Amino acid sequence: MKKVITYGTFDLLHHGHVSLLRRARALGDYLIVGVTSENFDKERGKLNVRRSLPERVADVLATGLADEIIVEEYEGQKIDDIQRRGVDIFAIGSDWADKFNYLREYCRVVYLERTKDISSTMIRDATRRAISLGIIGNGRVADRFVPESKYVSGVDVTGVYNPREESARSFRDRHELRFATGDLDHFFSLVEAVYIASPHHTHASYTRAALLAGKHVLCEKPLVLTAAEAVELHDLAAARRLVLLEALKSAYCPGFKRLVNLVKSGAIGQVKDISASFTKLVEGRPRELTDRQAGGSITELGSYVFLPAIKLLGVEHGRVTFHSWRDGEGVDLFTRGLVEYPSATASFKVGLGVKTEGNLVISGTKGYAYVPAPWWKTEFFELRRENPGDVKKYFYKFDGDGLRYELDEFVRLVNDGERRHSYMFSPAESIATARLIESFREGKNTTQIH
């Protein structure tokens, strides 16, 4: 019996898929179809899959062309599948020509001509209209955001606003956008949604203006600097049925989401302590060190180190203490602190002028989770127990700068129509983050170190 194997996402199954499956089956006597899992798709940078894995498997099954369906979950699995199942022919669409020649060591490789004028991407674009999105602010993060946006289906970054219009025009030309303007009202008239990447202390006013103009908002962290502003803006978005999402990339990346789910499911028992650090040494006098209104380690990095505690221990906490080292201008260069919960503690370190190990340790009654630096990218973590033989290792890909993950969730929410809040980083969690930042900025329970 001659066995044939093929692989694909098979999202929004169409006659092109069916044609390819039919031709693959004709090459032999038994057809095995590998359907990619959601995690593997995301590891490959594919963020625009519309149908779930069970739905896609059912769609392939319904064609009646597959003798066996398997799930592709990791890089290199094709070699294992071919050898384990005694496959004779590997077949794939011609748009992958020469990409799988390395499999010729194990079987015959056939590239099948794709059906012209049809693809899942075309169907997705037809059913998921691209959102016109404009950027407010054109600094370093915005420079990274535009290239990242090209990995997310359903969004089109069209222009940029900066009150210094010459700077906006330079950004427009560099990223080949359609427009640049220094007029905020004109900017709002040209877009459906807004990504805010301006200095921290301007986030509240720009977010408020965008929501009042009827625009969905994706705003860089920290969303705002006070809990009252966070409550006001999330309430305003809800009242106007608009999406307001805080762009804290770690919250949306695959590895961190998996970590949170495993810990919450009891994999290490009850969480009793969390320790998170994020420090970096910055050179010169960049905005983070010269903005006396909103500069410093806590406003720049605090959102990250607060995230594990808020996701795993909740938004309601007890006493918070800070120990901070500041420069001559009063900007904190290093801060460590402790957030107390009724049954656990969460410690953190952030720094722009002090460097330390940037790992994350979550301690539980049955073991602990260890995420090495840089933990905020969460590409790898271990669940460790008393017995070293019980250690489990988890690997995830963190593509690019990670901004694509937050943008993908934003686009999903805008297109959903009903679900306007993300479970990955909810309004309540955003408000709790702002409350912690505000507490520090007000000097509550803060000790200065020299």
Contact 162, 168 (CB under 8 A): yes
- Structure confidence at residue 198 (pLDDT): 95
Domain that holds residue 46: 3-121
- On whether both 281 and 377 belong to a single domain, the answer is yes
Q: Which contacts of 235-243 are long-range, i.e. CB under 8 A and separated by 24 or more positions?
A: 236/208, 236/211, 236/212, 237/211, 237/420, 238/420, 238/427, 240/211, 240/214, 241/420, 242/211, 242/214, 242/215, 242/216, 242/217, 242/420, 243/193, 243/216, 243/217, 243/218, 243/410, 243/413, 243/414, 243/420
- On whether both 40 and 184 belong to a single domain, the answer is no
Mean pLDDT of 17-41: 91
Mean pLDDT of 39-51: 65
- Structure confidence at residue 116 (pLDDT): 55
Per residue in 91-101, pLDDT (tens digit) is: 999 888 898 99
- On whether both 95 and 133 belong to a single domain, the answer is no
Q: Which amino acid is at 138?
A: N
Using the 3D structure, point to which of 95, 121, 147 is the last residue of a domain.
121
- On whether both 376 and 261 belong to a single domain, the answer is yes
Cα 210 to Cα 245: distance, rounded to the nearest angstrom: 13
- At 82, is the pLDDT very low, low, confident or very high (cuts 50, 70, 90)? very high
- At 151, is the pLDDT very low, low, confident or very high (cuts 50, 70, 90)? confident
Q: Which contacts of 385-388 are long-range, i.e. CB under 8 A and separated by 24 or more positions?
A: 385/268
- On whether both 259 and 343 belong to a single domain, the answer is yes
Q: Which residues pair with 298 in a beta bridge?
A: none
- Structure confidence at residue 38 (pLDDT): 76
Ranking 86-90, 227-231, 388-392 by mean pLDDT, the lowest is 388-392
Mean pLDDT of 263-275: 96
- Structure confidence at residue 260 (pLDDT): 95
All residues at 6 or more sequence positions from 245 whose CB lies less than 8 Å from its CB, including other chains? 217, 218, 219, 406, 409, 410, 413, 422, 425
- Structure confidence at residue 75 (pLDDT): 80
- On whether both 229 and 265 belong to a single domain, the answer is no
Cα pseudo-dihedral 207, 209, 211, 217, rounded to 10: -40
Residue 368 vs residue 285, higher pLDDT: 368
- At 292, is the pLDDT very low, low, confident or very high (cuts 50, 70, 90)? low
- On whether both 95 and 135 belong to a single domain, the answer is no
- On whether both 86 and 136 belong to a single domain, the answer is no
CATH number at residue 184: 3.40.50.720
% of the chain residues with pLDDT over 70: 93
Using the 3D structure, point to which of 82, 101, 121 is the last residue of a domain.
121
- On whether both 343 and 203 belong to a single domain, the answer is no
Confidence check: pLDDT of 141 > 70: yes
Structure token pair of residue 276: 């998170």
- On whether both 174 and 149 belong to a single domain, the answer is yes
- On whether both 222 and 313 belong to a single domain, the answer is no
Per residue in 421-436, pLDDT (tens digit) is: 999 999 999 999 999 9
Per residue in 338-348, pLDDT (tens digit) is: 999 999 999 99
Determine if the pTM surpasses 0.75: yes
Ranking 167-171, 222-226, 294-298, 366-370 by mean pLDDT, the lowest is 294-298
Query: What does the mean pLDDT of the chain come to?
Result: 91
Residue 445 gets the label, from left (phi > 0), alpha (psi -120 to 50) or beta, of left
Confidence check: pLDDT of 50 > 80: no
CATH number at residue 50: 3.40.50.620
Mean pLDDT of 125-131: 64
CATH number at residue 295: 3.30.360.10
- On whether both 71 and 99 belong to a single domain, the answer is yes
- Structure confidence at residue 128 (pLDDT): 54
Reference 383, options 245, 233, 259; nearest CA is: 259
Using the 3D structure, point to which of 220, 247, 274 is the last residue of a domain.
247
% of the chain residues with pLDDT over 90: 76
- At 42, is the pLDDT very low, low, confident or very high (cuts 50, 70, 90)? low
- Structure confidence at residue 407 (pLDDT): 96
Mean pLDDT of 5-15: 88
C-alpha 390, offset from chain centre:
30
Mean pLDDT of 345-359: 96
**Domain total of the chain:** 3
- At 153, is the pLDDT very low, low, confident or very high (cuts 50, 70, 90)? confident
Mean pLDDT of 1-20: 90
